[in-house]
């Protein structure tokens, strides 16, 4: 199984508490991350909490689908999750750092591939998956920044 360890980051023009709250509010991701990513918390919950399970779909060339369970949340510091079913498996973590009224957000993605076609792609185009992941995260971080700065 191919393994990836990719970290993407951005500076969001909002206080860390605002960015953190927006990241917990998965049901509003569609306001800033669509059409690239859609997420839904299982069970109708409104915001992420420890033990929440999130279904994730990434729309690129085709759709990638996987699910993650929240394993830990430290307010305004980090959200740790474990992808446990679907196309990707492994731990991931959002890290939030305040910097002069803004927030550095980092996402570390340490996953393996759980679909044959993705494993084949990783053999013939080894940089395609991590590059695609970083492109999606960049779009998400830009969308989040635009969403939060328009709300001011």
How far are the Cα atoms of 7, 10, 24, 81 from residue 91, in angstroms, in the given order?
12, 20, 17, 6
What per-residue confidence (pLDDT) applies to 152?
Answer: 55
pTM for this prediction: 0.93
Under 8 Å between Cβ of 19 and 146: no
Q: What is the CATH number of the domain that holds 42?
A: 3.30.530.20
To the nearest whole number, what is the mean pLDDT of the chain? 93
Q: Which residue is listed with tokens 């940089």? A: 127
What per-residue confidence (pLDDT) applies to 103?
Answer: 98
What per-residue confidence (pLDDT) applies to 39?
Answer: 92
Beta-strand runs (E) in 53-100: 53-60, 62-74, 78-86, 88-99
- Cis status, amide bond into 93, omega within 30 of 0: no
Distance CA 31, CA 21 (A): 14
pLDDT, mean of residues 37-51: 92
Instruction: Give the domain range for residue 45.
Output: 3-150
Count up the domains in the chain and report the number. 1
What per-residue confidence (pLDDT) applies to 2?
Answer: 54
SS3 73: strand
pLDDT, mean of residues 53-73: 94
pLDDT, mean of residues 48-70: 94
Q: Which residue is listed with tokens 């328009």? A: 150
Beta-strand runs (E) in the chain: 3-12, 37-41, 53-60, 62-74, 78-86, 88-99, 102-113
Percent of the chain with pLDDT over 70: 97
pLDDT digits (tens, 9 = 90+) for 117-147: 888 888 888 888 999 999 999 999 999 999 9
Does position 92 have pLDDT exceeding 90, yes or no? Answer: yes
What per-residue confidence (pLDDT) applies to 121?
Answer: 81
């Amino acid at each position: 199984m191919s393994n990836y360890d990719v970290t993407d980051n951005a500076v969001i023009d909002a206080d860390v508490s605002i960015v953190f709250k927006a990241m917990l509010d998965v049901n509003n991701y569609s306001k800033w991350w669509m059409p690239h990513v859609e997420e839904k918390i299982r069970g109708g919950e409104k915001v992420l909490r420890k033990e929440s399970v999130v279904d994730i779909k990434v729309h690129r060339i085709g759709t990638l689908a996987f699910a993650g369970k929240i394993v830990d949340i430290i307010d305004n510091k980090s959200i740790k999750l474990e992808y446990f079913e679907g196309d990707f498996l492994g731990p991931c973590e959002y890290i939030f750092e305040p910097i002069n009224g803004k927030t550095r957000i980092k996402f570390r993605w340490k996953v393996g591939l759980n679909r044959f076609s993705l494993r084949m792609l990783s053999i013939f185009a080894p940089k395609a998956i991590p590059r695609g992941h970083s492109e999606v995260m960049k779009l998400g971080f830009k969308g989040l920044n635009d969403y939060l700065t328009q709300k001011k």
